């Protein structure tokens, strides 16, 4: 995965100002790509100097060789999907996989390639059983579930420890979004209502905004979901009322709500993880939801972002089995079904950041996403509508209290699962 990560970093495109370009020029460059991936030579005629300054021919040849080592011989050009005269996605069929690339050509003749970026891999011999086996083999603990969403409720298919409560990081923000959507539908709130930006929490764009800056509920929800902004999440949780969001956790079908209630703000959660709060954290983890609410009220002055030394929780897992937002894949899939049926304006917000490469996301008519991660934790949950109108939800989590998890590895597993469902 390190080599693939370097490919993604090195092959980042630089998009030139576009002017009119005949489609045949783009298709011609796409048709030349298999030969360039198959053997060395011809880079100077294919790539622009701008690209080769970033990725010299010898580096490109190493990348192409690594792709062949992973996926076998290059067989042929697959699908070509243009988004404009100069940009699009190109699939290359290997012996063992189909590899997707974003391909960008210069608008001026001879239309050399200025951007090439690996955006997805689909294994030729892949299967859902194989994906589940790969998930179950992850170090630590993992869980996974898929359901087709029908008028009668979720119809469950592949599952691995689907009822196991897992640390899910920022996935808890979906419950805040669901409560906001409910309040708007009930006429209690409007997406355009403005509230002051609340106490800042670490990470995210809004922590640098002016204190108490007026923001609409829609803007806060967008930052919370699309960017996972913690200040936006904490502001919304307080603005909507923690008791109402907690009620949504139960209303949305969480099987074991007492394990995660009350929902902590991000500032509270990471303040509780600080070594100075170890005694309070133990008491909190052992308490009932009502006792936890009392502890949060009594210690509100110390459970703030100012008490968080982000360096102490950024490198290794910290209390992910006790101070967290817990949910099982089945809980999050049921929540996604609630949002599908009742989310209204929440659905476009969830689709801003699809969580996977654009070429893979385009396999779906609609793809909504929210994930969460921190050292030792990654969770990904998707709401997807196929082009034939069928709805699906997929959710997976991977926890390891002993070490950081390999996030790109998990993203690749979830992408494989989504691609298989889309191809069905």
Collapse the DSSP code of 267 into the 3-class scheme (helix H, G, I; strand E, B; otherwise coil) and give the result: helix
* Residue showing tokens 């608008």: 107
CA distance 355 to 300: 34
Tell the residue number behind the tokens 């006792």, with chain if given. 291
Q: What is the pLDDT of residue 123?
A: 79
Token pair belonging to 219: 């803007």
The DSSP letter of residue 210 is: P
What is the spatial distance between Cα 299 and Cα 292, in angstroms, rounded to a whole number? 10
Contact 168, 397 (CB under 8 A): yes
Helix 230-240 vs helix 242-251: crossing angle, to nearest 10: 90
Report how far residue 226's alpha carbon sits from residue 205's, in angstroms, rounded to the nearest whole number: 12
Alpha carbons 394 and 177: distance in angstroms, whole number: 18
Nearest partner of 99 among 34, 165, 144, judged by Cα: 34
Residue 168's nearest CA partner among 371, 413, 412 is 371
d(CA 226, CA 368): 10
pLDDT at 20: 37
153 Cβ contact list (under 8 Å, min separation 6): 337
**Both tokens of residue 29?**
């460059």
pLDDT at 6: 39
Residue 343: per-residue pLDDT: 96
Element (H, E) at 424: none
| Residue 130, pLDDT score | 93
**Residue 393 and residue 101: Cα distance in Å, rounded?**
26
CA 167, CA 397: separation in Å to the nearest integer? 8
The secondary structure of residue 263, as a DSSP letter, is: P
Q: Which of 344, 405, 407 is nearest to 186 (CA)?
A: 344
Q: Do the Cβ atoms of 127 and 135 come closer than 8 Å?
A: no
CATH class of 128-423: alpha beta
Look-up: residue for tokens 């003749």?
Answer: 109
- pTM of the predicted model as reported, rounded to 2 decimal places: 0.80
Diameter of the chain measured on Cα atoms: 70
Domain residue limits, the chain: 2-123, 128-423
Rounded CA-CA distance 261/180 in Å is: 18
Q: What is the pLDDT of residue 309?
A: 86
Q: Is residue 50 within a helix (H) or strand (E), and if so which, with residue range?
A: helix 49-54
Residues 6+ apart with CB under 8 A from 74: 34, 37, 38, 68, 92, 93, 94
pLDDT at 14: 34
2-123: CATH topology: Nuclear Transport Factor 2; Chain: A, (3.10.450)
Q: What is the helix (H) or strand (E) element at residue 266, kind and residue range? A: helix 266-272
Can you give the pLDDT of all 424 residues of the chain as single tens digits? 443 433 333 443 333 333 333 478 999 999 999 999 999 999 999 999 999 999 999 999 999 999 999 899 999 999 898 889 999 889 999 998 888 899 999 999 999 999 998 877 777 888 999 999 999 999 999 999 999 999 999 999 999 999 999 999 999 999 999 999 999 999 999 999 999 999 999 888 999 999 999 999 999 999 999 999 999 999 999 999 999 999 999 999 999 999 999 999 999 999 999 999 999 999 999 999 999 999 999 999 999 999 988 877 778 999 999 999 999 999 999 999 999 999 999 999 999 999 998 778 888 999 999 999 999 999 999 999 999 999 999 999 999 999 999 998 999 899 999 999 998 8
**Cβ 174 vs Cβ 158: under 8 Å:** no
> Which element (helix H / strand E) includes 160?
strand 153-160
d(CA 415, CA 311): 31
Alpha-carbon distance 422 to 98, whole Å?
A: 15
Contact yes or no for 129/152 (Cβ under 8 A) = no
How far is the C-alpha of 58 from the C-alpha of 39, rounded, in Å?
Answer: 12
How much is the pLDDT for 315? 82
Which residues, in sequence order, are CB contacts of 9 under 8 Å at separation 6+? Answer: none
Using CA atoms, how far apart are residues 215 and 235, in angstroms rounded to an integer? 10
């Amino acid at each position: 995965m390190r080599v693939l990560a370097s490919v993604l970093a090195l092959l980042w495109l630089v998009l030139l100002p576009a002017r009119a370009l005949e489609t045949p020029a783009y298709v011609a460059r796409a048709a030349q790509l298999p030969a360039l991936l198959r053997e060395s030579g011809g880079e100077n005629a294919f790539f622009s100097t701008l690209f080769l300054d970033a990725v010299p021919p010898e580096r490109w040849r190493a990348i192409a060789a690594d792709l062949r080592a992973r996926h076998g011989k290059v067989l042929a050009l697959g699908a070509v999907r243009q988004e404009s005269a100069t940009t699009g996605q190109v699939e290359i069929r290997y012996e063992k996989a189909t590899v997707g690339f974003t391909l960008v050509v210069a608008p001026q003749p001879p239309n050399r390639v200025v951007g090439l970026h690996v955006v997805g891999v689909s294994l030729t011999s892949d299967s859902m059983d194989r994906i589940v086996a790969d998930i179950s083999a992850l170090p630590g603990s993992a869980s996974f579930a898929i359901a087709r969403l029908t008028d009668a409720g979720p119809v469950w298919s592949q599952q691995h420890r689907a009822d196991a409560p897992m640390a899910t990081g920022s996935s808890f923000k979906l419950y805040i979004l669901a409560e906001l959507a409910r309040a708007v539908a009930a006429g209690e709130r409007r997406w355009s209502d403005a509230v002051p930006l609340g106490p800042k929490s670490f990470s995210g764009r809004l922590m640098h905004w002016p204190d108490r800056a007026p923001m609409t509920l829609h803007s806060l929800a967008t930052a919370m979901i699309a960017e996972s902004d913690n200040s936006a999440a904490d502001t919304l949780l307080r603005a909507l009322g923690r008791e109402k969001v907690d009620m949504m956790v139960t209303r949305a079908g969480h099987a074991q709500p007492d394990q995660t209630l009350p929902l902590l703000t991000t500032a509270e959660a990471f303040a509780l993880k600080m070594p100075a709060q170890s005694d309070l954290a133990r008491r909190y983890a052992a308490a009932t939801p009502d006792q936890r609410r009392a502890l949060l009220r009594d210690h509100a002055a110390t459970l703030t972002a100012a008490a968080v030394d982000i360096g102490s929780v950024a490198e290794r897992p910290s209390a992910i089995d006790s101070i967290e937002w817990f949910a099982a894949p089945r809980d999050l899939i049921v929540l996604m079904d609630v949002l599908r049926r009742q989310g209204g304006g929440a659905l476009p917000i969830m689709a801003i950041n699809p969580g996977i490469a654009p070429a893979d996301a385009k396999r779906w008519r609609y793809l909504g996403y929210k994930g969460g991660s921190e050292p030792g934790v990654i969770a990904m949950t998707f709401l997807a509508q196929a082009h034939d109108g069928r709805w699906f939800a997929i959710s997976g989590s991977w926890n390891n209290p002993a070490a950081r998890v390999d996030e790109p590895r998990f993203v690749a597993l979830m992408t494989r699962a989504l691609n298989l469902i889309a191809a069905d």
